[in-house]
Structure 1
Amino acid sequence: MPFEVGVGESGQAKTKNSFVAPLPTFKLKAEINLTQKWILNSELNLFYIKIGSFSGKVFSNNLYADYRFDNGFFLGLGIEAFKIDIKLDEDNTIFESELDGRVILANQSLLMRLRYDL
C-alpha cells in the first residue's frame, strides 16, 4: 500500500514523505446462500503493526446482499467501511517524520455493484 504524507501551510513548502507498506491482513470472509436467488456476502480485514514509537492499524469490512439474475450475473447492494489509524509518539527516524500525534482516515459508503462469476 503506497503512502505519501505532506504537512505544511497553504502556499508554503511542505514536508513530504512517501513509502510503500506491505499490508498482510488477517481476513475473514463468508458467503451465505439465503435462497437460490439471494446471497449474503461479508468480509472483514484487520492489520496492526508497531515499530518503536510508530503504530498503525487498518480495519475494513463490507456486507452485501446480492440477487442472482442469471447463472453468473448478480446485482448487489451493500455497505463498505474502512479505517486507517496511524499514531507516532515522537520524532521518528525510521520514517523520517516529525509527526507527533495521530492521523485517522475513515470512510463508510453505501454501494451498488454488478458482479459476474465465471
Structure 2
Amino acid sequence: MMNKAGWAVCLAALFSSAACAGEWEIEAGGFFSRTDTKLNAYDPYLDQIRTIDFESDLDLKEFTVLPYVEIEYYFNPKHSVYVDWRSLHREATRTAVTKPFEVTIDGTTYAVQAGSKLTTELNIDIARLGYGYQFYTSDKWAVDVLAGLHVMWLSLGLDGKLGAKVSGVDEVPVMFVDDAVLSDVTAPLPDLGIRAEYSLTPDWILKSHAQVFYLAVDDIEGYLLEVDFGAKYLFTDQFSMTGSFNYYEVGVDYESENTALDVTYRFYGPMLTMAYKF
C-alpha cells in the first residue's frame, strides 16, 4: 500500500498543476474532541468476537485536542480543490487488563491475558483530498457538491507480557515483548458530499457539510460518515474565524494473510479555526 510519502507526492502534484491565477485559502485550528475507538478481537475464553474499547478498557485518553489544517484552491467561483489533515496520537498503560483478547499481526497471533500489564499505542492520521463544484448560488446561498478521497493511516502498538502462537499451533507460550508489536494500515476511502453556506449578514455566514461513503476492495472494507455545522465570522474579506460542531466516524476492517484488524474510530466535539484567503 502507498505510504505517507507517496500520498504527499500525489498531493503536491495535484496542487502544483493548479493555475497561479486562482485564489487560495488556508485554515488552521483545533478540534476539541471526545473520542471513542473500538477493536473487534477474539476472546479465547468465551470463544467469540468481543469489542475492546480503547478508552475504557485500555485507558487511552478520551478527551483531547486534535490539530486541524485545510488548504483550498479556487480555480474560479465554481471550481476548487482542497486537502485537509487531522491527527490523534495516544499512548497509555493499563496495569491489569480486564478483557482478554487476541489480535493477529504480521502472521503471529498475540494473546493479551486477563490481569496482564499492557501498554497500548494508537496513532491515527486522517487526510481528506477532494474537488468541489458550486452548482447553486443566490444572494444568500452557495451550495457545492464534493467528491474526493479520505486516507487514514492507522498504527496500533502493543507492548507488555504477551502470549504468542503461530497458525496451527494451539499452545500459547508466554513471551516478553521488548519492542512494541506494531501494525500499520493505510486505508483510502472515496467519499461524496455536499457543502452549503448561508449569509446571515455581510459579516456572518452559516456553514455546513456532510460526507459519506462505503467501500470494500481487496483486503479492506470500510465506511465513513462526517457531518459538520457552524458559523463563520468575517473580520475582513481575507481573514475569518469559524466555530463549528463536527462528528466523524470511520470503520476499517482489514484482513490479510498476516494481519486482522477491525477498528471503529469515532470523534465528535466543537472545532475552532482561523482562515486566511489570498
- TM-score, length basis structure 2: 0.35
Determine which of 155, 171, 175 is the counterpart of 1:4: 155
Match of 2:201 in 1: 35
Determine which of 71, 74, 93 is the counterpart of 2:240: 74
User: What CA distance in whole angstroms lies between the structure 2 residues aligned with 1:24 and 1:32?
Assistant: 27
Match of 1:116 in 2: 276
- Structure with bigger helix share is 2
% of aligned pairs identical? 21
Determine which of 98, 102, 106 is the counterpart of 2:260: 98
Any idea what the Cα deviations from partners look like across 1:15-50, whole Å, max 9, x if unmatched?
543232333211211122121111112121222112
User: What CA distance in whole angstroms lies between the structure 2 residues aligned with 1:44 and 1:71?
Assistant: 25
RMSD (Å) for aligned C-alpha atoms: 2.6
Residue 78 of structure 1: how far off its partner (Å): 0.9
Residue 115 of structure 1: how far off its partner (Å): 1.6
Unaligned runs of 5+ in 2: 1-150, 163-176
User: When the two structures are aligned, how many residues end up with a matched partner?
Assistant: 111
Equivalent residues in 2 for 1:48-87 (5 A)?
48-51=214-217, 55-87=221-253
- For 2:194, the aligned partner's letter is L
User: What CA distance in whole angstroms lies between the structure 1 residues aligned with 2:155 and 2:204?
Assistant: 41
- Cα gap change, 1:5/1:70 in structure 2, threshold over 3 Å: closer, same or farther? same
Residue 53 of structure 1: how far off its partner (Å): 8.1
Match of 2:141 in 1: none
Contact 2:241 2:274 in 1 (8 A): yes
Contact 2:187 2:252 in 1 (8 A): no
Contact 2:238 2:277 in 1 (8 A): yes
User: What CA distance in whole angstroms lies between the structure 1 residues aligned with 2:204 and 2:188?
Assistant: 35
- For 1:107, the aligned partner's letter is F
Q: Partner of 2:190: helix, strand, or coil?
A: coil
Match of 2:129 in 1: none
Match of 1:23 in 2: 189
Any idea what the Cα deviations from partners look like across 1:51-98, whole Å, max 9, x if unmatched?
47853111112112011112222122111111112346xxx436x323
User: What CA distance in whole angstroms lies between the structure 2 residues aligned with 1:16 and 1:49?
Assistant: 25
User: What CA distance in whole angstroms lies between the structure 2 residues aligned with 1:10 and 1:62?
Assistant: 39
Q: Partner of 2:189: helix, strand, or coil?
A: coil
- For 2:269, the aligned partner's letter is S
- TM-score, length basis structure 1: 0.73
